[in-house]
């Protein structure tokens, strides 16, 4: 067995375990711990700082400093040497603390007589819970072994904190972990509100005995877990559904490489030799991985560290005998996860009331599925997985992009008032279901819905939508681990038309590439995938794939009308070529005596500014045009919609963008080419009203938006709306939003 690192850490850890087992209050335990550590490390001072709240560290116990300063001395995270350790999640040591950059003098502690300083973060699975410090009067250069030994001790203190070992009665006591309210401010993934209880996609594992009784036994347990982990990955690689050379195989090949990495494993073994249980040794390495991951900007390296993080979770499940996603779902389940794939999210299905993710993006597969299932979703909710426990009460406000964990009564009251107002509005929308979206001056606006799953189709009737303006066919490909068969796809498209019961359905051909990568297709590395090989570009370069989809759409129509449109078209020739290929396929299917669509309409999604300036022949040839607002806006403003720094910088109601929409509408009207607007903005009140005023007569949106948009359109006079917009444009305003809001407020229009 290797020589233990650290300063007699295996002996010290056993003394800490005995303290954990003793009866007594949290403060008493903390005091004993600081005394034992100081004695073991020949330090004159040992202090433990714990997080009082998100931004504050509090001195909770000390051996050597002024005892009167306990629970009185507080530092902000980032302030002083202790605050910097908490902020950076890295150890810090110096022979002369008073001259070290960032040192903050706290006179009440009496620490000015101590020169040497060593502090390490008390962290668990990447979350810093506090800071552990030792100090000496004489200048002393703490060794690497001493740093390592103190880190091992800090890991056990973190586990003890997670178990609630330091809680006690009284005003100064630290609260039990996972009991305080926590507010996560993220961004909107899918609108809506939900109240329920947390289900963690990766449940927390709390380790009751963090100290190893017998390191030999722990080494054996770890070795056995690695054998099982490696076997699991070998089974994945031998799965018949895995492609021979695709990106999915590359992912598992990388997993296999990491699972056999000797350095990764040896670091865990070192921790076991120092006295940690196997689970805590894995967690210690996982914490270090997550700390490194949060400092990286290189996306490739972050992905590789994600692989290590996922493997650590697998090792922990093996060591503790827990199954992934083992928790049962209950009424009002809110899923909380770091991130999640579309297939996993679909497995949970409509039983979910809401979803909160730490990561994700507005165009990710999970967001697409959540929208398809009409599940409120918040993304970029920092630290939510670290703060939540299974069963915790949680409020999800998808409209504001917020989640309230263990909410206070005042927050719950305000939330319930918001829910009541939404329910009242829903009753009003239901009363409008059978009425047209017709303005007071007689302008009829057709409201359609976006869809991508069979689950969406029941919303056609309940929402009052007049058809499906966009059916995303890529979801049938993205949610599978292997390529779908022709017969399955044809049956799926047929079922969609069956469910529509005669209402029009517009099928968009495969929009893959960019962020939508099929798991069984080789991924092309591109510097800017959003403007790269995607949509119609990929389809034209993969004629077999395009032809297969044409065949299944034709066969799925079963003699009914068929509407098909192509995505990401940048020039007339691309549309003309794709259209001709579809017509050729119709001719071949006819020769084979397949039933032909009773009517075929071929259109295009206008998502690139260049297509708006195509030759007149394009507008004459296209049967219809749908403005793809999400992509068009990002290309128009040169602002990536996945980039939070810039995507909110540009307003849809910017005068330049509205002028552009009006130009497209006028050009389509000149050639009697039906034109619609499809995207998130179509379902927002002010935007929808402005698009209608710009001449668009069809809008396609998520089903839940149809009621509010219909109510607003029926309330206003569109000619008056146009005057308000024209006046704002003539005034030199950058956006017409303020003018529209002021006008709608003045007439009492329901627009929020």
Decide: helix, strand or coil at residue 686. helix
175: which 2 tokens?
């609260």
Closest Cα partner for 255 from 230, 226, 292?
Answer: 230
Q: Exposed, middle or buried, 541 (CB in 10 Å: 0-12/13-18/19+)?
A: exposed
C-beta of residue 229 within 8 angstroms of C-beta of residue 311: yes
Give me the helix-helix angle, 278-295 and 215-237, nearest 10°. Answer: 60
> How far is residue 293 from each of residues 286, 299, 308, measured CA to CA in Å?
10, 10, 10
C-beta of residue 509 within 8 angstroms of C-beta of residue 475: no
Closest Cα partner for 184 from 444, 402, 504, 407?
Answer: 402
Cα 30-33-34 angle, rounded to 5 deg: 90
Residue 280 C-beta-side C-alpha neighbours within 13 Å: 29
Report d(CA 475, CA 454) in Å as an integer: 10
Report d(CA 464, CA 391) in Å as an integer: 36
Question: What are the beta bridge partners of residue 456?
Answer: none
Q: How many residues can be counted in the chain?
A: 752
Question: What are the beta bridge partners of residue 121?
Answer: 131
> How far is residue 471 from each of residues 340, 504, 695, 710, measured CA to CA in Å?
23, 11, 24, 21
Report the catalytic residues: 365, 678
Report d(CA 382, CA 380) in Å as an integer: 6
Cα 275-279-281 angle, rounded to 5 deg: 50
Q: Dihedral through CA 525, CA 527, CA 533, CA 535, nearest 10? A: 110
Decide: helix, strand or coil at residue 679. coil
C-beta of residue 583 within 8 angstroms of C-beta of residue 528: no
Give me the helix-helix angle, 299-320 and 247-259, nearest 10°. Answer: 60
Edge-to-edge strand list for the sheet holding 333-337: 182-185, 402-405, 393-397, 193-200, 333-337, 352-357, 377-379, 187-190
């Amino acid at each position: 067995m290797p020589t233990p690192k650290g300063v007699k850490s295996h002996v010290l850890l056993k003394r800490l375990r005995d303290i954990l087992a003793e009866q007594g209050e949290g403060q008493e335990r903390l005091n004993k711990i600081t005394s034992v550590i100081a004695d073991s490390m020949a330090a004159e001072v040992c202090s433990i700082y714990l997080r009082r709240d998100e931004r504050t560290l509090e001195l909770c116990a000390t051996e050597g400093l002024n005892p009167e300063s306990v629970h009185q001395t507080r530092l902000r995270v980032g302030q002083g040497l202790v605050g910097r350790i908490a902020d950076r999640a890295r150890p810090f040591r110096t022979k002369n603390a008073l001259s070290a950059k960032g040192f903050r003098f706290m006179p009440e502690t009496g620490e000015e007589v101590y020169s040497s300083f060593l502090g390490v973060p008390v962290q668990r699975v990447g979350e810093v819970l506090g800071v552990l410090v030792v100090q000496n009067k004489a200048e002393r250069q703490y060794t690497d072994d001493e740093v390592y030994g103190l880190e091992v001790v800090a890991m056990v203190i973190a586990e003890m904190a997670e178990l609630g070992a330091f809680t006690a009665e009284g005003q100064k006591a630290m609260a039990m972990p996972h009991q305080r309210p926590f507010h996560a401010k993220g961004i909107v993934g899918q609108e809506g509100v939900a109240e329920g209880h947390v289900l963690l996609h990766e449940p927390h594992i709390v380790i009751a005995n963090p100290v190893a009784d017998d390191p030999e036994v722990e080494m054996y347990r770890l070795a056995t877990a690695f054998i099982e982990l490696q076997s699991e990955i070998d089974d994945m690689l031998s799965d018949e559904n895995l492609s021979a050379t695709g990106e999915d195989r590359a992912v598992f090949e990388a997993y296999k490489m990491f699972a056999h990495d000797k350095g990764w494993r040896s670091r865990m073994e070192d921790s076991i030799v120092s006295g940690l249980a196997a689970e805590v040794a894995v967690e210690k390495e996982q914490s270090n991985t997550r700390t490194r991951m949060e400092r990286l900007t290189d996306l490739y390296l972050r992905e590789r560290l994600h692989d290590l993080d996922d493997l650590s979770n697998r090792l922990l499940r093996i060591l503790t005998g827990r199954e992934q996603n083992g928790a049962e779902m209950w009424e009002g389940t809110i899923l909380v996860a770091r991130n999640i794939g579309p297939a996993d999210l679909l497995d949970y299905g409509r039983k979910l009331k809401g979803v909160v993710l730490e990561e994700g993006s507005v165009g990710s597969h999970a967001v697409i599925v959540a929208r398809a299932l009409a599940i409120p979703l918040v993304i970029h909710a920092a630290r939510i997985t670290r703060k939540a426990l299974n069963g915790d009460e949680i409020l999800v406000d998808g409209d504001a992009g917020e989640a309230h964990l263990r909410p206070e009564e005042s927050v719950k009251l305000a939330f319930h008032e918001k829910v009541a107002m939404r329910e009242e509005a829903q009753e009003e929308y239901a009363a409008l279901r059978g009425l047209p979206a017709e303005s007071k001056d007689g302008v009829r606006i057709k409201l359609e819905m976006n869809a991508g799953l069979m689950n969406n189709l029941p919303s056609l009737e309940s929402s009052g939508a007049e058809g499906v303006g966009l059916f995303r066919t890529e979801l049938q490909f993205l949610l599978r681990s292997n390529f779908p068969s022709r017969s399955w796809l044809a049956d799926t498209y047929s079922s969609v038309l069956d469910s529509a019961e005669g209402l029009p359905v517009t099928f968009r051909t495969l929009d893959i590439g960019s962020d939508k990568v099929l798991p069984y297709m080789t991924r092309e590395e591109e510097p800017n995938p959003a403007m790269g090989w995607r949509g119609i570009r990929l389809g034209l370069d993969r004629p077999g794939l395009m032809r297969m989809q044409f065949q299944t759409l034709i066969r799925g129509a079963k003699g009914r009308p068929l509407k098909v449109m192509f995505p990401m078209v940048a020039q007339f020739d691309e549309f003309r070529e794709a259209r001709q290929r579809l017509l050729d396929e119709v001719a071949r299917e006819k020769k084979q005596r397949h039933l032909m669509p009773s009517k075929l309409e071929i259109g295009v999604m206008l998502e690139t500014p260049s297509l708006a300036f195509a030759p007149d022949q394009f507008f004459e040839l296209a049967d219809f045009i749908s403005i793809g607002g999400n992509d068009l806006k990002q290309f128009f403003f040169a602002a990536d919609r996945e980039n939070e720094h810039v995507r909110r910088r540009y307003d849809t109601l910017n005068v330049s963008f509205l002028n552009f929409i009006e130009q497209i509408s006028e050009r389509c009207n000149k050639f009697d080419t039906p034109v619609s607007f499809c995207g998130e903005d179509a379902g927002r009140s002010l935007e929808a009203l402005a698009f209608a005023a710009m001449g668009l007569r069809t809008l396609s949106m998520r089903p839940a938006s149809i009621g509010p948009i219909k109510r607003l359109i029926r309330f206003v006079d569109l000619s008056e709306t146009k005057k308000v917009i024209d006046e704002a444009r003539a005034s030199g305003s950058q956006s017409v939003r303020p003018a529209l809001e002021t006008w709608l407020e003045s007439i009492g229009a329901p627009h929020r």
